Amino acid sequence: MGITLASKRKEHFMKPFTAQITHVYHSGFIVETINHTLIFDYIEPDKSLDVTGFNRHDVFRKWISDRNNVFVFVSHHHQDHYMPSVLDWQAANPSLHLVAGYDVPVQPSKNCHLMNPCEKLKINEVSIETFGSTDDGVSFYVQADNMSFFHSGDLNWWHWNEFSPQQLEKEELDFKKEIQPLCAKSIDVAFVPVDPRLEEHYYLAGEHFVETCKPSLMVPMHFGTNFDVTKMFSSKLTNSSSSIAVLENCGQQLHYEKK
């Protein structure tokens, strides 16, 4: 299983059993497979990063406007995971499916689906299963084109240093309980929080996820503008059976090939 950085997106051309992953910002990713475009927790990059090409209009033009089989996932309503203007995408491309956690303030309709944890939904050729979170909303397990993707949303091991020992124990148990049913799943690519605000405990969720669920590729997320934490994480897990992506900027692309 190899990861290479692609400098330019190939226009709609994908081989079977491959995925092109574009990191937008924070927990936002665009996953392209041979027949599908899956967009997770899109928000616009922080202005301080001075990134061009990834505001909502750019993303619509490049990845959505002329495509079928576009799925936009919103794990929960927090503003670092949900930008209400994604609803404009659906208005402009009515074939787009919006799939959101139960707490996202949208009106369900033919192509707009609200999901609770532990639910399943099949839309055309895409299978979606929700898992829990240790904050609001859901996490998503998505199968498309014979590959499987897991996006955590805010499912994280929230080990805040200011918490009491009792609170910390509860956070650990809650996280492990939500992850447990995922261990039986085959996961090609998992997006898991590696949050530098947790200081020296930033790695706990990612390490536990990799050890128990063994995704082929783990992509760190939920680090805002602190890209260095992904390198630290990858260095820490050099002996893991999963490949660990290192992200260095918004717009970075990873090429995944299923083995």
Q: How far is CA 76 from CA 130, 140, 162, 201, in A?
A: 12, 11, 25, 24
Closest distance to Zn ion from the beta carbon of 22 (Å): 19
Size of the site for Zn ion (CB under 5 A): 2
Amino acid at 101: G
Q: Where are the alpha helices (DSSP H) in the chain?
A: 56-59, 86-92, 165-179, 204-213, 228-236
CA 31/CA 100 separation, integer angstroms: 17
Closest distance to Zn ion from the beta carbon of 81 (Å): 5
Could you say whether residue 178 binds Zn ion (CB under 5 A)? no
Per-residue contact flags (x/-) with Zn ion for residues 47 to 86, judged by CB under 5 A: ---------------------------------x------
Could you say whether residue 44 binds Zn ion (CB under 5 A)? no
The one-character DSSP state at 96 is: P
Q: Which is nearer to Zn ion, 80 or 172 (CB)?
A: 80
Could you say whether residue 154 binds Zn ion (CB under 5 A)? yes
Among all residues, whose Cβ is closest to Zn ion? 154
Binding interface with Zn ion (CB under 5 A)? 80, 154
